[in-house]
């Protein structure tokens, strides 16, 4: 700011010196218009003043136009923030057992306004599944069936959410960063295929039969192995490929997908 003041002062001094040294009179002609005779210095100063005024008006008009554009972009950004949606997820069956296939219609795109870390979400789901399995395995034969009817759909939904919101997009994002992590989805689908066969076998048996309980224990063992591998090996790798923002977006998708599928199931 001091530099600007100095520059203005220097220009003022220069203009004063120029006016003193150029007292000659001259008339300005423009087409048929003619001014009275005026000092050359005054005409030059007036020309400079007019130029400054015109330039200021032009700059002011551009500033107004820029501010209008900024306000328009801000309104557009607010609209997008209010209606921001994540890409619609698509439920895909894994293998011939239709373990992950749901009878619910394809859900609408989900909103990302409740941030939940995907890894934390899955760990919480794992704890819930463990507790539910304990109830089934400890229940009396007459109570097993009812408890299993509550647990089995949750298992299907869990794998459906896990594959759709995490492992499918992660396989793409990790392709150039961690090939082992990118290939994990194939192993995961193989495990899901195996569990799907067990679920189908359980459906054909009576809860009071020992064979039914044996199959449920197999599913429980597969689940324990799956959780141990995920939480011990896979989850630590995910945080090296996805940052916290991406993990939160995936977690939000999971929470919304579970809420939606649970509501329409």
93 has pLDDT over 60: no
The one-character DSSP state at 111 is B
Domain boundaries, the chain: 2-82, 118-264
Per residue in 32-48, pLDDT (tens digit) is: 667 667 776 676 777 77
Which residue blocks in the chain are alpha helix, DSSP H? 2-21, 40-82, 118-138, 141-162, 168-173, 179-182, 184-203, 210-229, 235-241, 244-264
Select from 161, 167, 152, 93 the least CA-distant residue to 124.
161
Q: What is the pLDDT of residue 151?
A: 92
98 has pLDDT over 50: no
Q: What is the C-alpha to C-alpha distance for residues 178 and 76, in angstroms, rounded to an integer? A: 38
Fold of 118-264: 1.20.120
Q: What is the pLDDT of residue 88?
A: 43
Judging by beta carbons within 10 Å of its beta carbon (0-12, 13-18, 19+), is residue 230 exposed, middle or buried? Answer: buried
pTM of the predicted protein model: 0.55
Q: What is the pLDDT of residue 127?
A: 93
> Average pLDDT, stretch 84-106?
41
């Amino acid at each position: 700011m001091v530099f600007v003041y100095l520059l203005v002062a220097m220009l003022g001094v220069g203009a004063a010196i120029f006016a003193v040294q150029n007292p000659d009179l001259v008339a300005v002609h423009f087409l048929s218009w003619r001014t009275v005779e005026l000092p050359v210095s005054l005409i030059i100063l007036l020309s400079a003043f007019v130029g400054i005024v015109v330039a200021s008006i032009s700059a002011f008009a551009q500033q107004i136009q820029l501010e209008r554009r900024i306000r328009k972009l801000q309104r557009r950004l607010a609209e997008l923030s209010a209606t921001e949606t994540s890409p619609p997820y698509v439920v895909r069956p894994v293998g011939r057992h239709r373990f992950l296939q749901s009878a619910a219609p394809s859900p609408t795109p989900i909103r990302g306004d409740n941030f939940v870390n995907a890894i934390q979400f899955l760990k919480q789901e794992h704890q819930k599944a463990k507790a539910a399995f304990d109830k089934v395995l400890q229940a009396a034969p007459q109570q097993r069936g009812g408890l299993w009817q509550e647990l089995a759909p949750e298992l299907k939904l869990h794998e459906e959410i896990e594959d759709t919101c995490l492992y499918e997009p992660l396989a793409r994002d990790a392709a150039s960063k961690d090939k082992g992590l990118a290939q994990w989805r194939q192993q995961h689908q193989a495990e899901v295929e195996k569990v799907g066969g067990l679920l189908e076998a359980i459906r054909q048996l009576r809860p009071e039969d020992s064979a039914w309980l044996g199959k449920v224990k197999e599913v429980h063992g597969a689940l324990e192995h799956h959780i141990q591998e995920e939480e011990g090996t896979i989850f630590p790798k995910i945080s090296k490929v996805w940052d916290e923002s991406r993990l939160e977006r995936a977690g939000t998708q999971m929470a919304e997908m579970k809420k939606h599928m649970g509501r329409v199931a």
